[in-house]
Amino acid sequence: MTSPLPEAPQGPLPAIAISVEKLSAAYGGRTVLDEVTLQIPRGTSFALLGPNGAGKTTLLNILSTLRRPDGGSASVAGADVVRQQTLARRSLGVVFQDSSLDDRLSAWENLEFHGLVYGMAPKLRRERSAAVLALVELEDWRDDIVRSFSGGMRRRLEIARALLHEPQILFLDEPTVGLDAQTRLRIWRYLDEMRRERQLTVLTTTHYIEEVESADTVCIIDHGRIIAEGSPEVLKSRHGSRWLHVVPRDQAALDAIRAQRPDAQLLGQHGLALPADDGAMTDAFLTAFRDRLTEVRFQDPTLESVFLSLTGRQLRDRADGDRDAERAAGRRGGRR
Partner 1 sequence: MNTFVMALRGLYGVWLREITRATRDRAQLIGGISRPLIWLLILGVGLNPYFRGEVYGEVRYVIPYTYLQFLFPAVIVLNIMYTSIQFAVSVIWDREFGFLREVLVSPMPRWLILLGKVLGGATVAMLHGGLVLILARFADVTLSLEQTAVALVLMFVLAFGLTSFGVILAARVRSFEGFGVFSNTVILPLYFTSSSVFPLDPALTRAQQAVTYPEWLVFLVQINPITYAVDALRGVLINFNQFPPLWGPLVIVAMAVVFFIIALIDFNRQ
Residues at the interface with ligand ATP (CB under 6 A): 27, 32, 50, 52-58, 97
d(CA 128, CA 165): 8
Residue 117 near partner 1 by CB under 8 A: yes
Query: Least distance in Å: CB of 169 to partner 1?
Result: 11
Residue 32 partner contact from ligand ATP, Mg ion, partner 1, none using kind-dependent CB cut-offs of 5 to 8 Å: ligand ATP
Subset of 257-286 contacting partner 1 (CB under 8 A): none
Residue from 57, 58, 75, 99 in contact with partner 1 (CB under 8 A): 99
Residue type, 333: G
Residue 118 near partner 1 by CB under 8 A: yes
The residues with which 153 forms a beta bridge, in sequence order, are none
Query: Least distance in Å: CB of 97 to Mg ion?
Result: 5
Complex with partner 1: residue 145 or 308, whichever CB lies closer: 145
Report whether 217 contacts 40 (CB < 8 A): yes
Complex with ligand ATP: residue 58 or 183, whichever CB lies closer: 58
Helical axes 151-164 vs 122-135, angle rounded to 10°: 140
Number of chain positions touching partner 1 (CB under 8 A): 31
DSSP summary character for residue 149:
S
Going by C-alpha positions, the residue among 160, 156, 155, 185 that lies closest to residue 170 is 160
Using CA atoms, how far residue 161 sits from 135, 253, 324, in Å, is: 11, 58, 20
Q: Which helix (H) or strand (E) holds 325?
A: helix 320-334
Going by C-alpha positions, the residue among 248, 230, 249 that lies closest to residue 240 is 230
Residue 50 partner contact from partner 1, Mg ion, ligand ATP, none using kind-dependent CB cut-offs of 5 to 8 Å: ligand ATP
Query: Least distance in Å: CB of 90 to partner 1?
Result: 4
Subset of 132-191 contacting partner 1 (CB under 8 A): 161
Complex with Mg ion: residue 19 or 97, whichever CB lies closer: 97
Query: Least distance in Å: CB of 65 to partner 1?
Result: 7
Strand order in the sheet with 265-267: 265-267, 271-275, 243-248, 293-299
d(CA 290, CA 195): 49
Residue 105 partner contact from Mg ion, ligand ATP, partner 1, none using kind-dependent CB cut-offs of 5 to 8 Å: partner 1
Query: Least distance in Å: CB of 81 to partner 1?
Result: 11
Subset of 40-99 contacting Mg ion (CB under 5 A): 56-57, 97
Going by C-alpha positions, the residue among 36, 38, 72 that lies closest to residue 55 is 36
Residue 336 near partner 1 by CB under 8 A: yes
Query: Least distance in Å: CB of 50 to ligand ATP?
Result: 5
Binding mask 71-90 for partner 1 (x = CB under 8 A): ---------------x--xx
Residue 100 near partner 1 by CB under 8 A: yes
Q: What is 21-45 written as a DSSP string? A: EEEEEEETTEEEEEEEEEEEETT-E
Which residues make up the interface to Mg ion (CB under 5 A)?
A: 56-57, 97
